[in-house]
Structure 1
Amino acid sequence: MNDFYLNILAFSGILTFGIIHGANDLLLIKEVSENYNFKLQFLYYVIMVVGFFLFFYNIPILALITFVLLSSYHFGEHQWTLFERIEDDFIKIFYFFYGLTIFSLLFYFNIKEVSEIIFDITTIELSDNFFFYLLLVSSSISFISSLLFYQQIKNQLITQIILLALLVLTFKTCGLIWSFALYFVFWHSIPSIKEQTIFIFGKAEKESIKNYFKKAFLYWLLSIVVLIITYYLFKANQDKLISIFFSFLASITFPHTFVVSKIKKPS
């Protein structure tokens, strides 16, 4: 299978499971809110998405940094709370640097493609050394943090090391789009859908998962329509379509990180 078809498959995964896993955020908010107002929450949510897209469009470098920092915490928190919830506020530091390590690995093994996208978005050209030192610093702090929080994470440490090794192998052997899609869909989105289904419906059986997708469908469809409109607005810039796609993805991810952080709080 050539790169074109692999990329089509990768984007299909991101646009289905990837977007769907964030499409029930309003339902999650309802579950954790005492005074829930759908219209008001929907308005807030849309404002956050549009606001972050405009932020990306007008101040791209600052928006990109914000996205990477927030997503680092989100990915790290998700990965280390899949198997066990840990009641320690300070472990959030470990979550952040572990998530940043995941980003750094993705960047480091796909330096050329990542540099081009960052340049398209920000007009800033980063050297290869930047990605090396980002990986060195984030992984070093992650390792030191894992020693500090060893007692809290020891039950899942071997599992996480195996998953990380598989992730490194994936990033090293696949291109940027395929690497990101495999991580985002299989490591993040599908486990998150299962976790959210349990949180909302109390279990992750066939019927409850079907209900999750039914409730997510309208918001997923709205996201796809917005993406199509965005594509037509910027279709003259064919060389920047991947950058625009990631900007859109960042915009819908921004509010999602805050919502998931609420449901991840230890009970």
Structure 2
Amino acid sequence: MNKRNIIFTCISIILLSFFPWINSLHSDMQVNLSIICILFLGIPHGAIDHILYEKQEKRFSTLRFNTIYLGLMAVYLVFWILFPTPSLIAFLILSSYHFGQSQFSDLPNSTDASHNFLALSWGMVLLSGLVLFNLSEVVQLFEESETLASSSFIFQHDVFLLIFVLSLSLTVLLLLFHLKKKRIGVKRLFTEVFILSLLLAIFYFLPLLIAFTIYFTIWHSCRVLYEEYEFLAQKIADFSFQKFIKLLFPYSAISICFSIVGIMVLRSDVIGISNILLILIFLSILTLPHTFVIYLFYKSFYKKEELT
């Protein structure tokens, strides 16, 4: 286990050990803590997508990049309006792949079919476990939205239990396949099993929003930020942590400000759309183009560490 994973593990275990106190927090406090963490740790990891793409493309065009990036967001927004249930399912699948994508970014041949299936199956274990362990809370959230109430049928215990078992089995088989192909070592195999078990324990013992926030900010966003820093350090002369913060700041600040305004609007009930629907739409339209950029990023750069 590398130093980064050791740090993430220690933080997660400490937070998990406080689960009685965390569970006793008022729901508003849980929401506020999660919002703060996601705004200041989650949002920045996607704030330099344009820079990551620019460093990979010799003929980079800001206009072309922004057109495609914003175009994908607009198309997905239209799909949400016209087809909310299929859009929700697509978001869950896309998020599953994206989470697994970052978890195994450092594997050799990181863009072949077996790696992509491993990324998808690992992410599906994660999200299906999150839903399965907090099913009543998830269903309640969706039933509060008139638009998404019809989509609540998706969240059936037997369905998500089946998805969880099948995706977990596939993940184990694919990890063994990568072990056989010598893309990972025995230590890495047990490390991945331990990390997945730890995350599922967090999902089981902690409230839905807190559990997701711990994963998203610590295990996903911080990991991606670390890789982005490594990548840019290879591309930019005399690169430093201060320069990295300066690159992250502009779009992070803009996104955080817009998010705060959006949260204020949601809490004032000015518009007649449920909070959960707007949050899902906001997250999904950001995730779609970001996933493509990160895919290209990992295609050109992934850590070639010794097998552990």
CA contact (8 A) 1:101 1:139 kept: yes
In 2, Cα distance between the equivalents of 1:73 and 1:231? 27
**2:80 counterpart of 1:56:** yes
Tell me by how many angstroms 1:87 deviates: 5.0
Aligned residues: 264
Matches within 5 A, 1:90-101: 90-91=113-114, 92-101=116-125
**2:76 counterpart of 1:31:** no
Structure 1 residues 238 and 150: alpha-carbon distance in aligned structure 2, compared to 1, 3 A threshold: farther
Pick aligned residue for 2:45 from 21, 31, 36: 21
**2:209 counterpart of 1:177:** yes
Structure 1 residues 167 and 96: alpha-carbon distance in aligned structure 2, compared to 1, 3 A threshold: same
Tell me by how many angstroms 1:136 deviates: 1.6
Tell me by how many angstroms 1:170 deviates: 0.6
- Code of the residue aligned with 2:152 in structure 1: it is E
In 2, Cα distance between the equivalents of 1:139 and 1:185? 23
What is the aligned-residue RMSD (CA, Å)?
A: 2.5
Tell me by how many angstroms 1:118 deviates: 4.2
Give the stretch that moved more between structures: 63-72 or 218-227.
Answer: 218-227
**1:113-169 superposed Cα distances (whole Å, 9 cap, x missing partner):** 222344435332232222212212211222222232223233511221121121011
CA contact (8 A) 1:85 1:266 kept: no
Aligned residue in 2 for 1:125: 152
Aligned residue in 2 for 1:256: 290
Identity %: 27
Pick aligned residue for 1:108 from 132, 136, 139: 132
In 2, Cα distance between the equivalents of 1:58 and 1:208? 46
Q: When the two structures are superposed, what TM-score results if normalisation uses the length of structure 1?
A: 0.88
In 2, Cα distance between the equivalents of 1:163 and 1:35? 40
Q: Which runs of 5+ in 1 are unaligned?
A: none
In 2, Cα distance between the equivalents of 1:196 and 1:213? 12
In 2, Cα distance between the equivalents of 1:88 and 1:10? 32
Aligned residue in 1 for 2:166: 137
In 2, Cα distance between the equivalents of 1:258 and 1:129? 32
Tell me by how many angstroms 1:230 deviates: 4.4
Secondary structure, aligned partner of 2:185: helix
Aligned residue in 1 for 2:15: none
Secondary structure, aligned partner of 2:81: helix
Give the stretch that moved more between structures: 137-146 or 227-236.
Answer: 227-236
Q: Which runs of 5+ in 2 are unaligned?
A: 1-21, 302-308
Looking at CA atoms only, which structure, 1 or 2, has the larger radius of gyration?
Answer: 2
In 2, Cα distance between the equivalents of 1:50 and 1:75? 23
In 2, Cα distance between the equivalents of 1:49 and 1:88? 24
In 1, Cα distance between the equivalents of 2:300 and 2:247? 26
In 2, Cα distance between the equivalents of 1:9 and 1:159? 29
In 1, Cα distance between the equivalents of 2:111 and 2:62? 32
In 1, Cα distance between the equivalents of 2:241 and 2:74? 29
In 2, Cα distance between the equivalents of 1:40 and 1:87? 27
In 2, Cα distance between the equivalents of 1:59 and 1:229? 27
